[in-house]
Structures are given as C-alpha cells and as structure tokens.
Amino acid sequence: MTFRSFIRYAILLPCSKLYGIGVCVRNKMFDWKILRQHTFGVPVVVVGNIAVGGTGKTPHVEYILGEMRNTHHVAFLSRGYKRRTKGFVLATSKSTPRDIGDEAYQIYSKFGGDVVVAVCEDRVHGIRELLNIDPAISMVVLDDAFQHRYVRPTAAVVVTEYNRPVFDDHLLPFGRLRESVRALNRADIVVVSKCPERLKPMDYRIFSNNINLFPYQSLFFSRYVYQPLQPLFPDAVSRIPYLDWLGAEDTVLAVAGIGNPRPFVRYLKSFDYKVKVNVYADHHDYTRKDMENIRRRYAAMRGKSKIIVTTEKDAVRLSCNPYFPHELKAVTFYLPIKVDFDAVGGGADGFSEAMRVALKNNNPD
C-alpha cells in the first residue's frame, strides 16, 4: 500500500463513516416525520442523483420537460448553482447565467415560453412562488433535488453513470456518493446514463442485479446522441462545419467545464482530426485570463482548418462572456446532445410509460 493510499484509508474512510451516519440520521428524521415533507396541488417530478459529478441530469431533465410539455403546463425549478443572485428569481428574456445559473438559462433558452423557469434555494418556497405567479402550472420539475426531502416528489428519477456505477462507490469523502446505494429505494425510476453504443443484455442483468431495485421500480439505460455542431455566435458564422468533414490535417480545440468531460472529449477524438483539450472545473466561470489562454492555444494550433468546440452547457456561459475574443467568434461551435433510451431497458416508450405509472400511483389526488 502506498503512503497516499494509507492516508486515504486512514483519514477519508473514517470521515466517510461519520458522514454516512449524519446522512442516515437526517433521512430517518424525514421517515419518522420529525422533519416535514411538503406536498402541493400539482405533481412534482424530482430528477437527481446520489453521486457528485456529471451524471447527465440536465439532458434527462430536458427530455422529461420535452415529453411533459405536451400534456402539462410545466414549470422547471432549480437552485441556480453559482448564480450571483439570491432567493426566488423567475427567468425572463433579460436573464443571464449569472442571474439564474447555467442549467436554468440553458433550459429557458431551449424551451422559451413552453416551460416556466425559475430558481430558488428553498424549493418549497420556490414552488409556492411559481404557483402564485402562474396558477395554470400543472406540473413542476425539480433539478438536482433528490436529497431535498422537504419536497415530497410525486415521481423521483435518479440518474447514475454507466462508467461510474454506484454499487462500486463509497460515501463522501472517501468516494463520490452523497448517500448510500440504499437511497435508491426512494426512486421510482433509475436511469443508467452515458451507456456505450452497443449495450448487451448481460450488461442490463449486471446492473439490475447489483442495484437490486424493488418490483415497483423501473430501470432504464440511456446514452448521449451528439447532434450537428451549432455556432456559438450565429451572426459571426457563414458556414457550419461537420465534424466528419474534417481530416487528419485539421485541428479541433475542445473546451469543457463540466462535471465529467471524458465522453465529450472521447467523442471528438473518434474522428480523424487532431484534438487539443482545455478542461476546466464544473460550472467554471471563464475569466479574462481563461479567454486569453484559449486565444493563445488556438493561435498556436496547426491545421488546414482550425475550430473550437465546446459543450452545450459551456456554451451558455461563453456566449455571454464579455471577455470572449472577437476573432474567435467565427470559429467557435458547441455540440448539442440529446438523450436516447436503449431498447434493452425498455426504450423511450418504456420510460414514458414508467413516468405515467409513477405519476398516477403516487398522485395524492
């Protein structure tokens, strides 16, 4: 055992045990009704995870919003992580990522008037404000709120990552888990995200056996489907390239500040061109120095064609960044993604049916 491993086991593992005791006590206080859970007159769908890092919640939230807006007047509520404001804020056409956070801004930009978007640290207060502002709202979707147990969900969806299985992980700070795997018992639906292209029935059985859900719970598998490049600054671009048009003599600079950039980088490296990578922390607030670093990195790149590609999440911050170099606007693009459910776990139709059943069975009305 190395010295680093010894320190990790000697210090982090006991801390992880203490953290687990605290989480368990808190959950028991909700189970025993010492701490109160609030219900509302409309169904509330919670999308979350039990691990820190990028499991892919936001694309799944977008998928659910896209489905539910066809039958409901839907509102989306998040805490607005890393925003510069406090309290309840309703998204408007004048909102920026600094006002409402990355995810809320991205969703407001994508769904426009079809979904009411707001942020609030206190989800109970946030839901009440939404229903007061727009009494026609017939469903609320909460992002990253599986641990926010003051709201009792009508349906709870937990997203976990294929390459980081929760059953092989440990509680913080020794591992990446916010709660133990037993917390999945509170979920109606578990989605294993970022799956490989060819998922075998054996993979389904391995996950199913290890997660060991109850019969009333549903397990699905999803993957990202990358869409054609989109310009970060449409007015500056005359032609949008296709990644498969670029060859070995071309170079792409990948810029990512997300929880887990590996799938994004791996996808870009699956083509023939050369790839340079600039990776930042999740929810990174790009500074003037960062922009200058990206400008220098791009200028030093060799290639017949050179472009910058970033993630859809980073595009939210970069498009509003006052320090973004003007000369890079015509060569910067982002890579949209959408969620596709694997047929092995029941596919998109199975997921829609599981959502319908969960909403019906758990609706207090």
User: How confident is the model at residue 365, as a pLDDT?
Assistant: 54
Give the pLDDT of the chain (365 residues) as one tens digit per residue: 676 776 777 888 899 999 999 999 999 999 999 999 999 999 999 999 999 877 889 999 999 999 999 999 999 999 998 899 999 999 999 999 999 999 999 999 999 889 999 999 999 999 999 999 999 999 999 999 999 999 999 999 999 999 989 999 999 999 999 999 999 999 999 999 999 888 888 888 888 999 999 999 999 999 999 999 999 999 999 999 999 999 999 999 999 999 889 999 999 999 999 999 999 998 899 999 999 999 999 999 999 999 999 999 999 999 999 999 999 999 999 999 999 999 988 999 999 999 999 999 877 55
Q: Give, as one character, the DSSP assignment of residue 177.
A: B
Superfamily for the 44-222+349-362 domain: P-loop containing nucleotide triphosphate hydrolases (3.40.50.300)
Contact 256, 355 (CB under 8 A): no
User: How confident is the model at residue 56, as a pLDDT?
Assistant: 87
How many whole angstroms separate alpha carbon 41 and alpha carbon 363? 9
How many whole angstroms separate alpha carbon 78 and alpha carbon 118? 7
Burial letters for 300-325: b for 16+ Cβ neighbours within 10 Å, e otherwise?
A: ebebeebbbbbbbbbbbbbbebeebe
Domain boundaries, the chain: 44-222+349-362, 228-335
User: How confident is the model at residue 67, as a pLDDT?
Assistant: 95
- In the sheet with 332-335, reading across from the earlier edge strand, the strands are 230-231, 332-335, 306-311, 251-256, 274-279
How many whole angstroms separate alpha carbon 4 and alpha carbon 20? 23
Contact 207, 165 (CB under 8 A): yes
Helix (H) or strand (E) holding 267: helix 262-268
User: How confident is the model at residue 283, as a pLDDT?
Assistant: 87
Maximum distance among all Cα pairs of the chain, rounded to whole angstroms: 66
Helix (H, G, I), strand (E, B) or coil at 221: strand
